[in-house]
Amino acid sequence: MLIGLTGGIGSGKSVVAEMLKNLGAHIIDADQISRDVMVPESEAYKKVVNTFGKEILQDDRSIDRKKLGDLVFGDPEKIAKLNECTHPAIFAEIDRRVEEIRRNNPDAIIIIDAALLVETAAHERFDKLIVVSADEETQLKRLKERDGFAEEEAQKRISSQMPLKEKVKYADFVIHNDKGLEDTRRQVAEIYKKLSAFSY
């Protein structure tokens, strides 16, 4: 089975991905792949640098992801351009990894962990979609603690994304990740059990 895993910023998607991995799922992390495909001199790297300029480069010529993020943040046109530069390479690498896992384990539960599955309509590629949800207060708290954002900046980041209550409408499964790790672990275990039943 091919499962999409998504959520909002600060919803705790990475924690859920780790729990699913521990239960036996194969996790493909789209954010890590986006780093891999943007290594210096790769095709995606060249497209990004040509589009956004050498100002986004660090001294070692690698892309400064924070600078790039700050540059495109809140600008739908720039975000669309960035996606045009990177998404073909990201999806090609995801497809390659999916095929590799399937060759070795045809019954594998493969989970694609990615932030923008619904926004890019990529969720339509999957058998099921899991959305990790948290209330806004929890998201704010996590962003301030994890990323050191001030209240206003954290609020801006949350507001720039599709509201979680909208994403949830597309979900086959919703994990409410704001009542502590044990509660989240219980929900994840229940969902994984259902996915395992579907896959046989």
In angstroms, rounded to a whole number, what is the distance separating the alpha carbons of residues 130 and 170? 9
Token pair listed for 170: 């597309």
Question: Are residues 159 and 144 both part of a single domain?
Answer: yes
Question: Are residues 142 and 179 both part of a single domain?
Answer: yes
CA atoms within 13 A on the CB side of 60: 5
Q: Would you say 15 and 184 are in contact if contact means Cβ atoms under 8 Å apart?
A: yes
Question: Are residues 114 and 103 both part of a single domain?
Answer: no
Token pair listed for 178: 């704001």
Q: Average the pLDDT over 85-104 and give the result.
A: 95
Helix (H, G, I), strand (E, B) or coil at 6: strand
**Domain extent at residue 48:** 30-107
Q: Would you say 123 and 4 are in contact if contact means Cβ atoms under 8 Å apart?
A: yes
Question: Are residues 17 and 97 both part of a single domain?
Answer: no
pLDDT surpassing 90 at residue 121: no
Q: In angstroms, how far is the first alpha carbon of the chain from the final one?
A: 9
Higher pLDDT, 3 or 69: 3
pTM listed for this prediction: 0.89
pLDDT given at position 199: 61
| Arithmetic mean of pLDDT over the chain | 92
Query: Beta strand pairing status for 173-176 and 26-29?
Result: unpaired
pLDDT surpassing 80 at residue 47: yes
User: Of 99-113, 117-131, 140-154, where does mean pLDDT reach its minimum?
Assistant: 140-154
Question: Are residues 102 and 164 both part of a single domain?
Answer: no
Q: Average the pLDDT over 135-161 and give the result.
A: 86
Q: Average the pLDDT over 71-95 and give the result.
A: 91
Q: Which residue has the tokens 């540059």?
A: 71
CATH code for position 60:
3.40.50.300
Residues of the chain with pLDDT > 90, as a percent, come to 69
Q: Average the pLDDT over 158-182 and give the result.
A: 91
Last residue of a domain, one of 62, 89, 107: 107
Q: Average the pLDDT over 35-50 and give the result.
A: 95
Question: Are residues 16 and 71 both part of a single domain?
Answer: no
Question: Are residues 116 and 180 both part of a single domain?
Answer: yes
Question: Are residues 142 and 195 both part of a single domain?
Answer: yes
pLDDT given at position 158: 84
pLDDT given at position 33: 96
Residue 20: pLDDT band (50, 70, 90) is very high
pLDDT surpassing 70 at residue 200: no
Last residue of a domain, one of 82, 107, 132: 107
Question: Are residues 59 and 100 both part of a single domain?
Answer: yes
Last residue of a domain, one of 74, 107, 140: 107
pLDDT given at position 76: 85
Number of domains in the chain: 2
Higher pLDDT, 92 or 153: 92
Question: Are residues 20 and 116 both part of a single domain?
Answer: yes
Q: Would you say 157 and 34 are in contact if contact means Cβ atoms under 8 Å apart?
A: no
Question: Are residues 101 and 114 both part of a single domain?
Answer: no
pLDDT surpassing 90 at residue 27: yes
Helix (H, G, I), strand (E, B) or coil at 18: helix
pLDDT given at position 75: 86
Question: Are residues 170 and 114 both part of a single domain?
Answer: yes
